[in-house]
C-alpha cells in the first residue's frame, strides 16, 4: 500500500515547508515537492498542517489510588483522535515482582490486545529492595529505558525515600536508564494535610493549600543534588512551580544533567479551579497541584526557551461521580490525577501557537520530537523524516469549537477543559501508515497499537 499526502505544510521541530510525503507500508519513504502522484491513495492536505504523531511520555492507564483503578487502554482511542500516536505508560511495580516482569505481565494481560496507539513503558520502583536496584541495568534489554520514583505520597505504597532515589540514580547511570522523579516533599505535605484535616478544612482547595510550591521547589532542589552526588542524569516529571522550573534551569546552566517536562493543564488552568462549589473542585485534584498565573506564565516561557523540554498530559482517568467522591469528606482521599490525553495538541495549538507564546516548530518539539529522544524512540518516532514510521497528523487550523466531554473518548465522566475554546482540529491521523482517524472520528480498532522498545542513553545522557 502506498500513500501520498500532497501539498500540506509539513512542520518539524526545526523546519516548516509545503511539500508531499510518500508512505510505503508503515514507513515514510520520500519527502519533497511535487512527488509523482501514482500512489494507491492520495490525500490533499492543501491549507492544512502535517505534524508528526505526538508522543505522550506521561500517561497512567494502570494506576490505582487506594484500590480504585483508572480507565485503561480500552479508552486509548482518545489519545489518537487527539493526535497522539505513541504513549508511554508508567507501570507501578508489584511488590515481590521484578520491574520488567510486572510490565511484561501487564502488557500481556491488559495492553497488547487493547491499545489503539503505539506504546512503551516506564518502570516505577515501588519495592525498594536490593533486588530491584540490581535489576535496573538489565531493563534496556527488555525495551525499558526509564525508572520512575515518587518522592511524594508518604504512606502510600509507591512512595520512595531519598535512599531509594539515590540507589536508583547510582544503578541507572552506567546502564543509560533515565531516572524520572515526582519531586514533592512528602513529609511536609503529610504534616500540612493532617493539620488541615484536624481543623476541619476538608474541601478540595486544601489539596492545593497543603502542597504549596515550596514543597515542589525543595524536592526538585534535593533531586538535583542527589543526581549530582550520583553523577547521573535525572528527569523531573510534571514541573509546575516557577521556582522549581528555575532550579532546573539554573542547574542546567551549571552543567548538572537535570531536565524536566510540564503538563498541559499546568499551562492553562489554575489553583482557583479547586475552589469550585459542589465538590467540582475535586475534578482538578492532581499532584503537584495547579498553580497561579505567574507560574503559568513562567512555564510558557520555560517551554519556549527550552528550560523545560516536553509537555505531557499526565493522563489519569478517574471518574468524578464515584471515584473522586471518595474524598467528599476529606480531600486527602480524593484520587489524584486528571484526564487529558485527547486535548494536549489542541490546547498547545490554541493557547500556545495561536497566542504567539510558542512557534509551530516548538510545539512539534514539545509534543513529539523531544519526548521521542528522551525515551530512546528517536530514529523511528517523533519526527517527519525518511525511514521514520508514518505516524502523521493532519491538522486543519481553521475550525473553531468548544471543548466538551461529549466529544471525549477517554471514558471519564468529565473533561478538565470543558467549555474552553479550541482553534483548529485533528482531521486525520495515520499510525504507521494506517488511517486511524478520519474527519476527527476514530477508524481503527483495539489492538492496532504495537509495543515499542526504548533505547537506553536517551537525551538526558547526551547533554
Summarize as ranges the residues that interact with Zn ion (CB under 5 A). Answer: 314
CB of 141 to Zn ion, least distance (A): 26
CB of 20 to Zn ion, least distance (A): 39
CB of 270 to Zn ion, least distance (A): 19
- Closer to Zn ion by CB, 89 or 203: give it: 89
**Residues 210, 325: Cα–Cα separation, whole Å:** 19
- Closer to Zn ion by CB, 63 or 206: give it: 63
CB of 63 to Zn ion, least distance (A): 8
**Residues 347, 419: Cα–Cα separation, whole Å:** 12
Which residue's C-beta sits nearest to Zn ion?
A: 314
- Closer to Zn ion by CB, 107 or 314: give it: 314
Q: What residues contact 299, with CB distance under 8 A and at least 6 apart? A: 239, 240, 242, 245, 262, 266, 267, 308
CB of 272 to Zn ion, least distance (A): 22
**Residues 107, 120: Cα–Cα separation, whole Å:** 10
User: HSE (CB half, 13 Å, CA atoms) of 236?
Assistant: 35
DSSP class of residue 144 equals -
Sign of the Cα torsion 170, 173, 175, 180 reads: positive
CB of 103 to Zn ion, least distance (A): 16
- Closer to Zn ion by CB, 240 or 257: give it: 240
H or E stretch at 219: helix 213-230
Are the beta carbons of 38 and 410 closer than 8 angstroms? Answer: no
- Closer to Zn ion by CB, 82 or 433: give it: 82
**Residues 179, 169: Cα–Cα separation, whole Å:** 6
- Closer to Zn ion by CB, 196 or 324: give it: 324
- Closer to Zn ion by CB, 270 or 314: give it: 314
CB of 90 to Zn ion, least distance (A): 6
The torsion region of residue 152 among left (phi > 0), alpha (psi -120 to 50) and beta comes to beta
DSSP 232-263: --EEE-S--SHHHHHHHHHHHHTT--EEE-EE
CB of 436 to Zn ion, least distance (A): 25
Q: Name the grid cell of 143.
A: 525495551
Three-state SS at 392: strand
- Closer to Zn ion by CB, 265 or 360: give it: 265
Amino acid at each position: 500500500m502506498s500513500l501520498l499526502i500532497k501539498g500540506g505544510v509539513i512542520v518539524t521541530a526545526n523546519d516548516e515547508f509545503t511539500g508531499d510525503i510518500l508512505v510505503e507500508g508503515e514507513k515514510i519513504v520520500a519527502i519533497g515537492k511535487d512527488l509523482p502522484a501514482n500512489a494507491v491513495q492520495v490525500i490533499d492536505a492543501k491549507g492544512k498542517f502535517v505534524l508528526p504523531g505526538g508522543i505522550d511520555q506521561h500517561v497512567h492507564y494502570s494506576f490505582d489510588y487506594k484500590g480504585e483503578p483508572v480507565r485503561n487502554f480500552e479508552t486509548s482511542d482518545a489519545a489518537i483522535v487527539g493526535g497522539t500516536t505513541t504513549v508511554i505508560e508508567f507501570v507501578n511495580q508489584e511488590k515481590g515482582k521484578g520491574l520488567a516482569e510486572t510490565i511484561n505481565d501487564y502488557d500481556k494481560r491488559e495492553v497488547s490486545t487493547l491499545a489503539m496507539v503505539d506504546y512503551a513503558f516506564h518502570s516505577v520502583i515501588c519495592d525498594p529492595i536490593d533486588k530491584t536496584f540490581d535489576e535496573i541495568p538489565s531493563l534496556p534489554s527488555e525495551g525499558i529505558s526509564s525508572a520512575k520514583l515518587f518522592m511524594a505520597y508518604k504512606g502510600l505504597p509507591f512512595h520512595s525515600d531519598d535512599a531509594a532515589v539515590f540507589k536508583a540514580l547510582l544503578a541507572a547511570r552506567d546502564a543509560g536508564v533515565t531516572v524520572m522523579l515526582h519531586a514533592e516533599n512528602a513529609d511536609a505535605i503529610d504534616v500540612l494535610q493532617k493539620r488541615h484535616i484536624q481543623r476541619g478544612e476538608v474541601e478540595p482547595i486544601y489539596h492545593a493549600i497543603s502542597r504549596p510550591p515550596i514543597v515542589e521547589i525543595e524536592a526538585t532542589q534535593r533531586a538535583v543534588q542527589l543526581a549530582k552526588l550520583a553523577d547521573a542524569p535525572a528527569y523531573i516529571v510534571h514541573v509546575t512551580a516557577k521556582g522549581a522550573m528555575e532550579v532546573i534551569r539554573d542547574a542546567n546552566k551549571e552543567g548538572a544533567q537535570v531536565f524536566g517536562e510540564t503538563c498541559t493543564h499546568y499551562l492553562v488552568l489554575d489553583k482557583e479551579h479547586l475552589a469550585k462549589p459542589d465538590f467540582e473542585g475535586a475534578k482538578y485534584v492532581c499532584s503537584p497541584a495547579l498553580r497561579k498565573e505567574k507560574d503559568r506564565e513562567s512555564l510558557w516561557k520555560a517551554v519556549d526557551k527550552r528550560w523545560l523540554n516536553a509537555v505531557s498530559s499526565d493522563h489519569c482517568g478517574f471518574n468524578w461521580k464515584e471515584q473522586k467522591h471518595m474524598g467528599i469528606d476529606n480531600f486527602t482521599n480524593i484520587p489524584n490525577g486528571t484526564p487529558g490525553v485527547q486535548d494536549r495538541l489542541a490546547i498547545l495549538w490554541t493557547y500556545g501557537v495561536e497566542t504567539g507564546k510558542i512557534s509551530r516548530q516548538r510545539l512539534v518539539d514539545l509534543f513529539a520530537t523531544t519526548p521521542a529522544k528522551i525515551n530512546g524512540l528517536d530514529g523511528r518516532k517523533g519526527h517527519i523524516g525518511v525511514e521514520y514510521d508514518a505516524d502523521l497528523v493532519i491538522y486543519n487550523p481553521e475550525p473553531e469549537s468548544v471543548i466538551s466531554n461529549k466529544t471525549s473518548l477517554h471514558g471519564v465522566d468529565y473533561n478538565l477543559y470543558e467549555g474552553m475554546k479550541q482553534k483548529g482540529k485533528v482531521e486525520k491521523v495515520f499510525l504507521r501508515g494506517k488511517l486511524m482517524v478520519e474527519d476527527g472520528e476514530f477508524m481503527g480498532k483495539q489492538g492496532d497499537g504495537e509495543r515499542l522498545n526504548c533505547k537506553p542513553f536517551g537525551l538526558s545522557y547526551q547533554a
